[in-house]
Amino acid sequence: MNAFEVDERLGRDSELLTQIGLCELRLMKDARWPWLVLVPQRADACEIFDLTPLDQTMLTFEINLVADALKRATGATKINVGALGNIVRQLHVHVIARSEGDPNWPGPVWGFGAAETWADERKAIFTKTLLEHLNS
């Protein structure tokens, strides 16, 4: 059995916010949307059904926890949840806050345009607010 390590590209495109049970909670380096990624800390998982039933339940619990906190933290119109993995095969779940009129609304975020860098202060405020909502 291999040890878990975050995929190189995923590691480059996102930064670690915290660990919650099964998953690393990471923030995408793209300020266009509040865009989180959950990465189950399991080596060699590509599809959700590669996880054990217990891990699947944990993942569901953590997706819901994060999605609910993200909605409350942002007041977004809709949370988008997706596990695609066509490029990065390591299992990871996107949780994105979408609002009417945001870039590519109502289309998906994946594959659209180029990432924009977070301003440090804005990122710090968003991260603090999110983590507060995760714990309440």
Residues 69-108 as x/- pattern, contact with its own copies by CB under 8 A: --x-----xxxxxxxxxxx-x--------x-----xxxxx
Distance CA 32, CA 103 (A): 7
Verify binding: residue 11, its own copies, rule CB under 8 A: no
Residue 12: its H or E element? helix 8-13
Verify binding: residue 68, its own copies, rule CB under 8 A: yes
Terminal Cα-to-Cα distance of the chain (whole angstroms): 36
Q: Which residue among 9, 44, 60, 119 contacts its own copies (CB under 8 A)?
A: 60
Q: Which two tokens stand for residue 31?
A: 């300020």
Residue 93 β-bridge partners: 38
Q: Scanning residues 23 to 52, which ones bind its own copies (CB under 8 A)? A: 46-49
Distance CA 7, CA 4 (A): 9
Verify binding: residue 21, its own copies, rule CB under 8 A: no
Nearer to its own copies, 16 or 46 (CB): 46
Give min distance, CB of 86 to its own copies, in A: 3
